Amino acid sequence: MRSVCVTNNPLWRDGYGETEAVRVMEEAAAADVFIAARDLVHKGWRFAGHPLYGNFSPTRHPYRTLVLIAPGEAGGLDMESLALLEQALEACRGDARDIAAGEMPARMKSDFAMLDRSLMEEIVKRYIGRGGSL
Amino acid sequence: MKPYRIVHYLNQFFGGVGGEEKADIKPESREGAVGPGVAFKAALKGEAEIVGTVICGDGYFAENMEKATGEILALIAAFKADAVITGPAFNAGRYGAACGAVADAVRAKLDLPALSGMYEENPGVDLYRKSVVIVPTSDNARGIKDAVPAMSRLILKMLSGETLGSAAEEGYMERGIRVNCFHHRPGAERAVEMLLSKLRGEPFATEYPMPNFDRVPIAPALKDIKNATIALLTDGGIVPKGNPDRIESSSATRYGTYSFAGIDSATDKLYATAHGGYDPTYANHDPNRVLPLDVMRDLEREGAFGKLYETWYSTVGNGTSVAMARKFGEEMGQALKAAGVDAVILTST
Amino acid sequence: MVKEIERVGLPIVHICTIIPISLTVGANRIVPAIAIPHPLGDPSKTPEEEKLLRRRIVEKSLLALQTEITEQTVFND
Amino acid sequence: MKLELHKARVRGIQWGGKTALGGNRVLQVNRAELMELLAEDGRFASIDMDIARPGESVRIVPVKDVIEPRCKIEGSGEMFPGMVGDVESAGEGKTFVLEGAAVVTCGKIVGFQEGIIDMSGNAAEYTPFSCTYNLALIFQPTEGLEIYEYEQACRLAGLKAALYLARKAHEAGAGADNVETYELPSMTESFTKFPNLPKVAYLYQLQTQGLLHDSYVYGLDAKRLLSTLIHPNETMDGAIVSGNCVSACDKNSTFVHQNNPVIKALYARHGVDVNFVGVILTNENVTLADKRRSSAYAVKLASMLGVEGLVISEEGFGNPDADLIMNCRRAESAGIRTVLITDEFAGRDGASQSLADATPEADAVVSTGNANMMIELPPVERVIGYTDYVDVIAGGFSGSLREDGSIEVELQAITGATCELGFNRTGAKTL
C-alpha cells in the first residue's frame, strides 16, 4: 500500500468507504488522529501534507485528515515528518477553555467536516487515488 | 500610613539554622528579620518592614514540594503579609528553585506581590522567569549589597500597585513573555528599514528572536575502561512497574532514582514505560529495548568494562521544559561525580 | 539533560533516534538508535537477533566513550 | 510601467438619490441602484445594506472581505483583471480611488467563520477598518446553494459594489484631492540607472490552502500557480483578490492587497537607497511537495534577477510558518539577505512558542503582534450581520459572548488586527 489516510471525519466514507487505504476512526478526537499518525511516522512513514493544514488552531477544529506515504526500502525515520508531527502535537495543547467538539452547534460541526474534506480532497486523490466524488 | 508587612523566605543556611546537614528541616517561622533580612530594613526606608521570616530546608522542599509549599504559605499567611521576598539565592540551585516556587505560589494562591533574586545561571531562573519577577544578582553572597536595594525598590513599586515596565527598564530578568505594543511606524516600513541595515552590515534588532541552544565543552575520553564504573540512565520513561514516583507521561517535573542491585535484565515483570510520546507496546513487552540492562550485565561479566553503577535515574523526555531538563542533568551529574562514576550511557526514544 | 552531566566532566554517550534534536540539545557523543518506540530493539527480529543488535549498539557506545573527539560526533557503523 | 492613483478623500457616507462624492467629500450612495446591480447575480435570497462610520457604536460581524472602491479612468487593463475586468494586464495609466471608503462583505458562509470590525471602543484601535467609511453588504444565499457558489457570489458582489461606487463617483465629477505616481521602468533600465544601489525584491506569500483559504491572481486560483513575477503596480489595480476569510486577524483582505504597505515602503526608497526590482508571488499549499516546489522556484527567480535583499511576508499561521521559514532558509543559503514579517501565536499568556517552525537564518524578523492576546469588546448599540456564532469565532471561546452583548475574544477574531503585510503599527516585545 503506497499511502494511507487516517481521519476522524465521517464524510470520507462517502466515496472512500471501502478503500482499504482510508481509515475512518469512529468517535475519535483530532488528537487521536495525530497519535495514530505519530505511530506511523515513528515507523518511517512520511507526511504527504502539512498536518496543520487549514488556518485554524487544531484545538478548535474537531476534524483532522492526515495522508502518509509508506516508507521506502531504506526505511528509517523521516526527520521532516517527525518535526512536523512534534509541531502539530505542540499546537494541539491549546487553552483549556477552547471549545470542545461536543459543545459545538451541529451546523458548525458539519461545516467543519465539509471544510476538512474539501481542503484535503485533492491530496487524498493524488496520494490515495480517486474515490467516488463528493 | 503604616509600613507594609513583608515576609521573607530563606533556606536553612541563610536562616542561620545550618548547612547541608540541616537541609531536611521542615518550614518554621521567626518574628522579624533574620540574616540577609536585616539588610532590607535600611533599603525599605520605613515604607515597609520585614515582620517575619519563614525558613525551610532545601532538601525538605525539593522532596516534598506540594506539602512544603502548603506549609510555607500557611506560615506566611499567619503574618498577615502584604508581600513576600524570597532569597536572594545567588547560584544555589535547589534554593533558587525553592525561592521561585514559593514566590510563584504566593502570587498564584495568596494573590500577593512576590519577587525573588538569583544569579542568571541558577536553574530557578528558567523554571520561574515566566511567572515570577526575579532580580539578577551576582553568583555569590558577596553580591547582597547590590541585590537588596534593587529588590527593595521593586517590591515597593509592586506594593504601590504600579504596573512594572519592561525587564530592561525595571532591572529584573526578562520573563520571556510576548506582549503586544504599538510602534511609531507600520511593520512594512520597519521591515524595509531592517533589511537596509542588514544589507549594509549595520546592527539591527530583530523583533522576534529565534530560540537557540548553547554548547558544552567535550569531556575527555575514558582512559581505563576495564576498571571504569559506568552508569546507565534513560529518559525513555522506563520505570519500576506501577511508576512509584508518578513521573508524568509528558512535561515531566521529576525523575526517579532506582537500583539495579540483584537484577540482571529489564524484564516486563519488573519494569514498564511511563512515556506518553510513543506507542508503548514494544517497550512494555521488553523494557531492555529502551534500557539495555541485559547486555550491560553480559558485558560487565565479560569484563568489557569495570562495573555497572548500581543506582540509575529515569525520567520521561517528552515535552520536558529546557529548564527542567537542565535541573535534572545538574543534580544527576553532581551525584554521579560524587559517587566516583567514570562515564555515563543515556538512552532516549 | 545530557549537557549538564557532561558539564561536570563526565564523558557521556547519547543513544537516540532523533539525531538532529540531540545535536541541538548539545550531546557531543551520539550513537544512533534503531527506532523511537524501540531504540535498542527490533520486534521484527527474533529475541536472539534483537539482543545481538542491542549488544552492538552498547559496544559502539563503550567505544564512543573511549574515543577522543574535538566536535559533536555521531558514531555510525 | 507607470500608474497614477487619483485619490478623492472621503469624509462621510450616507444614502442618497445619486451615487456621487460631493464637494463636502460625503459619499452619497443610491441604495436601490446598487441593490439592483448586485441582485443580477441570482444566487442571493436577500441582500441587506448598512453604513458604519468611524466612532459610531457599531459592530460588523462576521466580515468576509473588505475592498477599496477603485476604477480605471485611463490606460489599458481593467480593475480586478480576470475576476471582474478583462484579463489584459493592468497597473498602467490612471486609476481613481475613493480613499477612506470601503465595501465590507458579510455573510455566514460557514458556521465558524469570523471577523469583527468595531467602529469604536478598544477593538477599533486594532483594525484599520474602524477608520474607513464602510458600506456593509449582508448576503443570504438561496436555499441549498452549494458553498463554493455562495463564497464566489459574495466575493464577486463585493468587487462589483466597490467598482460601482468608484465609477459612479468619478462619472459624477468627484475629482481627485491628490495624485500618487508609481513608476518602475524595466529592470535593465533600473540596473544601469542605479548601479550601486542594492537590488531588493518582495516575496509575497499568498494563502492558498483551499476553500475559504484561497487567493486569486488575475482570476486564477493561486494554488495552481508556480511562483511568478508581478509588477507592483498591478496589485494597485486589484490583480490580487482575496478569497480567504480565515483567520480574520492575518488574512489579507482585498483592501490590503490593493494597498500593499511593503510595496509602498519599497517604492518610497526606490532610487534613494534601494533598487526595487519587483515582486515575486508565491503560494502556501497544503502538500509538502508543492511547498518545496514553490519555494525553490521563487528563490531561483530572485537569484536570476540578481536580488540581494528580500522582504518576505506570510499570510496565515501554523502551516504557512513552514513556507516562510523554508523561503528564508533557501534565500539565505543562496546568498540573499532576508527580513521576515509575521504575526505570532504565543498563547493567551504570551508564554508559548510563537511560530510553529524556526531556523537560525531567520535572524531578522518584524512581528505584527501576538494574535492570541485577549481583548474585551464593549456592548454596541448596533450590530451589522449576525452574532449568534461569535461565541465560537476563531478567537472566541464558549462563554465569550455575554448577556450585556460584550465579548471577550482573542485578537485573532479582529479583521486585519495582525496583518502580516505590516499594514498596522502593531508589534510585540518580550517582557
Report CB contact under 8 Å: B191, D262.
yes
pLDDT over 60 at A99, yes or no: no
Q: Rounded to the nearest 5 degrees, what angle is found at the Cα of B101, between the Cα atoms of B98 and B103?
A: 105
Q: By the CB < 8 Å criterion, does B211 face chain A?
A: no
Q: What is the pLDDT of residue B254?
A: 87
Angle between helix axes D288-304 and D319-333 (nearest 10 degrees) is 30
**How far away is chain A from the Cα of D35, in angstroms, using its nearest Cα?**
29
pLDDT over 60 at A95, yes or no: no
Q: Per-residue pLDDT tens for B40-96? A: 988 898 899 999 999 999 989 988 888 999 999 999 999 999 999 999 999 888 899
Domain assignment present for residue D311? The answer is yes
Residues B237/B318, Cβ–Cβ less than 8 Å: yes
Nearest one of B135, B64, B145, B75 to B110, comparing CA atoms: B75
Angle between helix axes B322-338 and B93-105 (nearest 10 degrees) is 150
HSE-CB of C45 using CA atoms within 13 angstroms: 15
pLDDT over 60 at D392, yes or no: no
Share of chain B above pLDDT 90, in %: 71
Contacts of C61 in chain B (CB under 8 A): 345
Domain assignment present for residue D422? The answer is no
**How far away is chain A from the Cα of C7, in angstroms, using its nearest Cα?**
28
CA distances from A105 to A114, D212, D393 (A): 15, 20, 12
- DSSP string covering B202-271, please? -----SSPPP-----PPPPPPS-GGG-EEEEEESB-EEETT-TT---SSS----EEEE-TT--S--TTTE
Q: What is the pLDDT of residue B273?
A: 95
Query: How do beta strands B28-31 and B48-56 pair?
Result: antiparallel
Angle between helix axes D261-269 and B187-199 (nearest 10 degrees) is 50
Report CB contact under 8 Å: C68, B221.
yes
pLDDT level of residue D231 (50, 70, 90 thresholds)? very high
pLDDT over 90 at A111, yes or no: no
What's the CA gap between B226 and B232, in Å, rounded?
Answer: 16
pLDDT level of residue D193 (50, 70, 90 thresholds)? very high
Report CB contact under 8 Å: C36, A42.
yes
Q: D183-216 in b/e burial notation, b at 16+ Cβ within 10 A?
A: ebeeeeebeeebeebbbbbbbbbbbbbbbbbbbb
- Whether D245 is catalytic is yes
In the block, residue with C-alpha cell 494511507: A4
pLDDT over 90 at D3, yes or no: yes
Cell numbers linked to A68 = 502518509
Contacts of A42 in chain B (CB under 8 A): 278-279
Cell numbers linked to B87 = 532569597
Nearest one of D302, D297, D304, D231 to D263, comparing CA atoms: D231
Q: By the CB < 8 Å criterion, does A87 face chain D?
A: yes
Annotated catalytic residue, options D106, D154, D245, D249: D245
Nearest one of D248, D278, D289 to D395, comparing CA atoms: D248
Burial of C53 (0-12, 13-18, 19+ CB in 10 A): middle
Residues 310-349 of B with CB under 8 A from A: 319
Alpha-carbon torsion, ordered B46, B47, B53, B59, to 10 deg: -120
pLDDT level of residue D245 (50, 70, 90 thresholds)? confident
Q: How many CB contacts within 8 angstroms connect chain B with chain D?
A: 158
Residues 5-44 of C with CB under 8 A from A: 17-18, 20, 35-37
Share of chain A above pLDDT 70, in %: 87
3-state secondary structure B272-310: EECCCCCCCHHHHHCHHHCCCHHHHHHHHHCCCCCEECC
**How far away is chain C from the Cα of A50, in angstroms, using its nearest Cα?**
20
Nearest one of B267, B265, B270, B249 to B315, comparing CA atoms: B249
Nearest one of D61, D25, D24, D30 to D382, comparing CA atoms: D61
Could you tell me which chain D residue has the CA closest to the CA of B130?
Answer: D351
pLDDT level of residue D2 (50, 70, 90 thresholds)? very high
What's the CA gap between B275 and B267, in Å, rounded?
Answer: 17
Best A77, A78, A82 member to test C by mutation, with max C CBs in 10 Å, is: A77
Share of chain D above pLDDT 90, in %: 77
**How far away is chain C from the Cα of A88, in angstroms, using its nearest Cα?**
17
Best B175, B195, B196, B321 member to test D by mutation, with max D CBs in 10 Å, is: B195
Q: What is the pLDDT of residue D107?
A: 79
Range of D7's domain? Answer: 2-413
Alpha-carbon torsion, ordered B189, D321, D123, D214, to 10 deg: 100
pLDDT over 50 at A10, yes or no: yes
Give the end-to-end CA distance of chain C in Å, rounded to a whole number.
25
- Give the residue-averaged pLDDT of A1-13: 92
**How far away is chain D from the Cα of B164, in angstroms, using its nearest Cα?**
10
What's the CA gap between D334 and D303, in Å, rounded?
Answer: 7
What's the CA gap between D237 and B98, in Å, rounded?
Answer: 62
Q: Per-residue pLDDT tens for B209-259? A: 876 656 678 899 999 999 999 999 999 999 999 999 989 888 788 899 999
- Give the residue-averaged pLDDT of B94-120: 93
pLDDT over 50 at B153, yes or no: yes
Residues B85/B115, Cβ–Cβ less than 8 Å: yes
CA distances from D389 to D141, D154, D226, D385, D401 (A): 17, 19, 37, 11, 9
Report CB contact under 8 Å: B210, D369.
no
Contacts of A43 in chain C (CB under 8 A): 35
Report CB contact under 8 Å: B332, C17.
no
Q: What is the pLDDT of residue A133?
A: 43
Share of chain B above pLDDT 70, in %: 98
Report CB contact under 8 Å: D319, A99.
no
Q: What value does the CA radius of gyration of chain C take, rounded to a whole number of Å?
A: 13
Report CB contact under 8 Å: B278, A39.
yes
Report CB contact under 8 Å: C17, A39.
no
Amino acid at D221: D
- Give the residue-averaged pLDDT of A85-105: 68
* Average pLDDT taken over every residue of chain B: 92
Cell numbers linked to D397 = 471561546
Could you tell me which chain B residue has the CA closest to the CA of A85?
Answer: B277
Q: What is the pLDDT of residue B169?
A: 85
Q: What is the pLDDT of residue B65?
A: 87
Q: What is the pLDDT of residue A108?
A: 81
Question: Where in chain B are the domains?
Answer: 4-170, 225-347
Q: Per-residue pLDDT tens for C23-40? A: 766 789 999 999 889 999
D partners (3+ CB pairs within 8 A) are A, B
What's the CA gap between B64 and B56, in Å, rounded?
Answer: 11
Nearest one of D421, C2, A69, D155 to B219, comparing CA atoms: C2
Q: What is the pLDDT of residue A37?
A: 95
Residues A37/A66, Cβ–Cβ less than 8 Å: yes
Q: By the CB < 8 Å criterion, does A14 face chain C?
A: no
Domain assignment present for residue A134? The answer is no
**Residue B335 CB neighbours (<10 A):** 15
Contacts of D211 in chain A (CB under 8 A): 115, 118-119
- Give the residue-averaged pLDDT of B5-11: 95
Contacts of B289 in chain C (CB under 8 A): 38-41, 50, 54
Report CB contact under 8 Å: D425, B198.
no
C partners (3+ CB pairs within 8 A) are A, B
**Residue B234 CB neighbours (<10 A):** 28
Contacts of C20 in chain A (CB under 8 A): 79
Number of structural domains found in chain D: 1
Domain assignment present for residue D428? The answer is no
Contacts of A110 in chain D (CB under 8 A): 111
Query: How do beta strands A3-7 and A22-24 pair?
Result: parallel
pLDDT over 70 at A103, yes or no: no
Contacts of D221 in chain A (CB under 8 A): none
Cell numbers linked to D335 = 546568498
The helix/strand/coil state of A105 is coil
Residues A6/A33, Cβ–Cβ less than 8 Å: yes
Residues with Cβ within 8 Å of residue D269, at least 6 apart in sequence: B192, B196, D276
Q: How many CB contacts within 8 angstroms connect chain A with chain C?
A: 13
CA distances from A54 to A10, A58, A65, B283, D153 (A): 18, 9, 11, 35, 22
**How far away is chain B from the Cα of D200, in angstroms, using its nearest Cα?**
9
- DSSP string covering D53-105, please? -TTSSEEEESEEEEE--EEEEESSS-SSBTTTB-SS--S-EEEEEEETEEEEE
What's the CA gap between D287 and A87, in Å, rounded?
Answer: 16
Q: Is the ipTM of this complex over 0.90?
A: no
Q: Which of A42, A79, A82 sits opposite C37 (nearest CB)?
A: A42
Report CB contact under 8 Å: B345, C70.
no
Contacts of B208 in chain D (CB under 8 A): 342, 344, 354-355, 365-367, 428
Q: What is the pLDDT of residue D121?
A: 94
CA distances from A51 to A61, A67, A81, C7, D105 (A): 12, 9, 9, 38, 31
Q: How many CB contacts within 8 angstroms connect chain A with chain D?
A: 103
Report CB contact under 8 Å: B225, C65.
yes
What's the CA gap between B40 and D164, in Å, rounded?
Answer: 73
Structural domain B4-170, CATH architecture: 3-Layer(aba) Sandwich (3.40)
DSSP one-letter code for C37: T
Report CB contact under 8 Å: C1, B298.
no
Nearest one of D388, D426, D425, D424 to D407, comparing CA atoms: D388
Residues D105/D137, Cβ–Cβ less than 8 Å: yes
**How far away is chain D from the Cα of B319, in angstroms, using its nearest Cα?**
13
Best A35, A41, A87 member to test B by mutation, with max B CBs in 10 Å, is: A35
Report CB contact under 8 Å: A39, C20.
no
Nearest one of A57, A89, A111 to D396, comparing CA atoms: A57
Q: Per-residue pLDDT tens for D104-148? A: 999 777 766 678 999 999 999 999 999 999 999 999 989 988 888
* Average pLDDT taken over every residue of chain D: 92
What's the CA gap between D219 and D227, in Å, rounded?
Answer: 16
Angle between helix axes B293-301 and C47-66 (nearest 10 degrees) is 70
Report CB contact under 8 Å: B333, C36.
no
Range of A124's domain? Answer: 3-128
Report CB contact under 8 Å: A42, C35.
yes
Segments of chain A assigned E as strands? 3-7, 22-24, 46-47, 65-69
The separation between CA D96 and the C-alpha centre of its own chain, rounded to angstroms, equals 19
Query: How do beta strands A46-47 and A65-69 pair?
Result: antiparallel
Q: By the CB < 8 Å criterion, does A126 face chain C?
A: no
pLDDT level of residue D275 (50, 70, 90 thresholds)? very high
Q: Per-residue pLDDT tens for D45-102? A: 999 999 999 999 999 998 999 999 999 999 989 999 999 999 999 999 999 999 999 9
Q: What is the pLDDT of residue A134?
A: 40
In the block, residue with C-alpha cell 530594613: B41
What's the CA gap between D105 and D139, in Å, rounded?
Answer: 8
- DSSP string covering D273-331, please? TBEEEEEEEEEE-SBHHHHHHHHHHHHHHHHHTT--EEEEE--SSSHHHHHHHHHHHHH
DSSP one-letter code for C36: T
Domain assignment present for residue D421? The answer is no
Could you tell me which chain A residue has the CA closest to the CA of B281?
Answer: A39
Q: What is the pLDDT of residue B213?
A: 54
